[in-house]
Amino acid sequence: MESHIEKEVAMPEMEETKAWYESKTVWGGIIAIIAAILGIFGHQIDQETQQFLTEQSVQIASALAAAFGGAMAIYGRVKARKVIK
């Protein structure tokens, strides 16, 4: 009698969320596309530089989003027409 063992690959369930600009995968894809386009025009970006740009892009985008959110909160309060109780 033959024994068959099924291998189940457990896929991690994604329950937490994050903004698109916080994703290294998204930024890695954007940098790779830009590198490919630059390559067409004779400019080369090595893998190490692409990785560095990806990591920096995530940090910069997160900081800009936080700054934008803060600025919008202040702007909204200054332009408000009603008193906060």
Check residue 8 and give its pLDDT: 60
In a domain, 13, yes or no: no
pLDDT > 70 fraction of the chain, expressed in percent and rounded: 86
Average pLDDT over residues 60-69: 89
Whether the model pTM is above 0.75: no
Domain-located, residue 16:
no
SS (H, E, C) 29-72: HHHHHHHHHHHHCCCCCCHHHHHHHHHHHHHHHHHHHHHHHHHH
For residue 55, give its domain range.
46-78
67 assigned to some structural domain: yes
Spatial contact of 54 and 28, defined as CB atoms under 8 Å apart: yes
pLDDT, tens only, 21-49: 888 889 889 999 999 999 888 888 888 98
Is the confidence at residue 70, as pLDDT, over 90? yes
